[in-house]
Amino acid sequence: MSKVSADDRQYHVDGELVAASEATVSVHDRGFAYGDAVFETIRVYGGVPFRWAAHAERLAESAAALSLPLPVETAELRARVIETLAANDFQEATVKLSVTRGSDTRGLTPSTEPEPTVVVTVSPLSRGGTAGERVWDEPARLQTAKTQRVPDRALPSEAKTHNYLNQILARLETRVSDATEALVLDTDGYVAEAATANLWFVADDALRTPSLEGPVLPGITRETVLELARDEGIPVEEGRYEPDDVRAADEAFLTSSIREVKPIATVDGVAVGGGPVTTLVGRLYDARVDAACYDENDDGSDSPREETDSGETAPQEGTDDSQPSGP
Domain boundaries, given as residue ranges, for the chain: 6-124, 140-288
**pLDDT, position 7:** 82
State the virtual CA torsion across 291, 60, 221, 302 in degrees, nearest 10: 30
Cα(182)–Cα(296) distance, rounded to whole angstroms? 38
**pLDDT, position 296:** 56
Task: Give me the sign of the Cα torsion angle 280, 144, 247, 215.
Answer: negative
The crossing angle, in degrees rounded to 10, of helices 220-232 and 276-293 is: 110
Strand ranges, E, within the chain: 10-13, 16-19, 37-45, 48-49, 93-100, 117-124, 140-144, 181-185, 191-194, 198-203, 206-210, 236-239, 251-256, 260-267, 270-271, 294-296, 302-307, 313-315
Cα(291)–Cα(2) distance, rounded to whole angstroms? 24
**What is the per-residue burial (b if ≥16 Cβ within 10 Å, else e) of 117-151?**
bbbbbbbbbeebbeebeebeeebbbbbbbebbbbe
Cα(268)–Cα(142) distance, rounded to whole angstroms? 6
Percent of the residues in the chain that have a pLDDT greater than 70, as a whole number: 89
Task: Give me the sign of the Cα torsion angle 200, 203, 207, 213.
Answer: negative
Closest Cα partner for 20 from 94, 107, 120, 153? Answer: 120
pLDDT digits (tens, 9 = 90+) for 275-305: 999 999 999 999 999 999 996 533 334 444 5
89-to-41, 82, 292, 325 alpha-carbon distances in Å: 19, 10, 20, 11
**pLDDT < 70 regions, the chain:** 1-3, 295-327
Kind of pairing, strands 251-256 and 313-315? unpaired
- The CATH class that applies to domain 6-124 reads alpha beta
**pLDDT, position 318:** 29
**pLDDT, position 319:** 29
Q: Is 140-288 CATH 3.20.10.10? A: yes
**pLDDT, position 306:** 55
**pLDDT, position 5:** 80
Cα(326)–Cα(320) distance, rounded to whole angstroms? 10
Cα(10)–Cα(84) distance, rounded to whole angstroms? 7
Cα(48)–Cα(316) distance, rounded to whole angstroms? 10
**pLDDT, position 305:** 53
pLDDT digits (tens, 9 = 90+) for 109-138: 999 999 999 999 999 999 999 999 999 999
User: Phi and psi of 256, rounded to 5°?
Assistant: -160, 165
